[in-house]
Structure 1
């Protein structure tokens, strides 16, 4: 198991070497994580979790995850473009 003996009570009777049991233990770990979510590191971890889970999804869930990812990237590009245009205008006016 990924988490030594942390989830022994939840996984009683299951084979600790089974890949599905390991995935379930990893899922339990993600559900019980209690670090602050307002740091950059936590935000990147959450994005990594989203990317990892969306790569396992299929069908409609995959398309929804891909759409969310594209919208996030589009928002970042629009915000960056706006900052660049305003910076160029500010430098040109000064």
Structure 2
């Protein structure tokens, strides 16, 4: 990593740690994700957070992986159920008129 590409965290929060160490780089990336200050109500932010969840759950193992998979399945079922409910109400509204 070139000096110009160095994360500023190594001069502020991670003083004394080796910036070339992959574990330290991963920790710096983790700190950057944790302290991100962006609006959470935009589509882009929501998709970014879903991507972060997917990336972190793919690194997890054991019980954490099963919990993340269960949450993902429940979200998918919730979206399918809500979509079906909207379609049924729309068809009912169109045929009632």
Give the TM-score of the pair, scaled to structure 2. Answer: 0.86
Instruction: Tell me how far apart the structure 1 counterparts of residues 6 and 54 of structure 2 sit (CA, whole Å).
Output: 25
In structure 1, the partner of 2:42 is 39
Give the TM-score of the pair, scaled to structure 1. Answer: 0.89
| 2:92 corresponds to 1:89 | yes
Higher relative contact order (CA 8 A, sep 6+): 1
* Uncovered stretches (5+) of structure 2, i.e. residues with no partner: none
Q: Equivalent residues in 2 for 1:4-83 (5 A)?
A: 4-8=6-10, 9-83=12-86
Displacement of 1:34 in angstroms is 0.6
Kept after mapping to 1: 8 A contact 2:18/2:24: yes
Structure 1 stretches of 4+ moved >6 Å: none
Instruction: Tell me how far apart the structure 2 counterparts of residues 4 and 33 of structure 1 sit (CA, whole Å).
Output: 18
Q: How many residues align?
A: 93
Root mean square deviation of aligned Cα? 1.5
Kept after mapping to 1: 8 A contact 2:6/2:19: no
The answer to which structure has the higher helix fraction is 2
